Amino acid sequence: MTHSRPKPDLSSDPTLDRLLAEHFNDGALPPSSGFAATVMEAARTEAAMPQPIPFPWRRVLPGAVAALAGLLAFAAWVLHQWTEALRTDSSRLLAVPPSSGAASAGLAPMSTAELTLIWVTLAVLLSVVAVFASLRLASR
């Protein structure tokens, strides 16, 4: 159990009131030297600055709409492929048909892991190409 001392009531102390009145000149506190000049210089500098360049929404909006449309089309295509894969036998989708040139050349049907590796490699290559293309366009 902690014992706290009662705080003294300073709201009616005439000595404190007199000291505060002498020190603060009856409520008027003068600013430090150079404060007003510094504030006015900052205000002039801010007023002299040019307006910020507005964002070019007219140029960005068509590209953003096209990218969104492409993303939606891709999502629809993936959904269509997924539903088709569920309807058909997945082993038939992964195998190379025997009548193709690959089978006659002695190539074995690709496994799921090999197909996944091909798609991942293709995605990484496409990402790298997109990054380098954007960096090249941005550097001009």
CA pair distance 135, 140, nearest whole angstrom: 9
- Please list the pLDDT of the chain residue by residue as tens digits (140 residues): 556 666 666 667 788 777 777 777 655 667 788 888 899 999 999 999 998 888 888 888 998 899 999 989 988 988 888 787 777 755 554 555 555 555 555 556 777 877 888 888 889 999 999 988 888 888 76
CA pair distance 120, 128, nearest whole angstrom: 12
Identify the CA nearest to 95 among candidates 114, 111, 116. 111
Which tokens go with 137? Answer: 């366009």
pTM score above 0.85:
no
